[in-house]
Amino acid sequence: MSVVYWDTNRERVDFAASLGIPVEWKETFPKSAGRFNLVCDASASESGWNLATRSLAPRGILTSASIFWTNKLNIPYLEFYNQGVELQIQRVESKESMPEIMKFIESGIFTPGQIVTSTASFQDAKDAWMEPSIKLVITN
């Protein structure tokens, strides 16, 4: 199985690489990244969405947690139909995923503190949310 994190943001790519994740950085998203059985889009950009839709293997699954504030985004229906692609568009099911994630945390495989890039007090939360951050944690 091959896992690759693609992004046009150098800071996020460097951060993912520091966690041991295979990465690809490009100034702009390419037309395709190859053919993958599972592609997850969280780019929240049309160019990232297009990369995701063009990087699926036949009978692949595309899941997107991106929010696009339009109903005019291109979904290549005919190509998906001919390739037997499955499309999942939804919010991340954080609460529902916790029991499985907790197994990785308890075993030490995953240490969530690694992904925290900034913290702020509850009193400073409003200002902190306005600043760029990969993972912000608000403390009480």
**Can you read off the two tokens belonging to residue 25?**
């950085």
Model confidence band, residue 94 (pLDDT cutoffs 50, 70, 90): confident
- The predicted-structure confidence for 108-128, as pLDDT tens digits, reads as follows 988 888 889 999 999 999 999
CB 33 within 8 A of CB 6: yes
Which sequence spans correspond to the domains of the chain?
5-89, 94-139
Per-residue pLDDT averaged across 22-40, rounded?
Answer: 93
Alpha carbon distance 30, 51 (integer Å): 6
Q: Does residue 1 surpass a pLDDT of 70?
A: no
What mean pLDDT comes out for the span 129-134?
90
Radius of gyration of the chain (CA): 17
Q: What is the mean pLDDT of residues 89-101?
A: 90
Cβ 37 vs Cβ 26: under 8 Å:
no
Give the pLDDT mean for 69-97: 92
Here the tokens at position 91 are 């919010």
pLDDT in the model for residue 139: 94
CATH architecture for segment(s) 5-89: 3-Layer(aba) Sandwich (3.40)
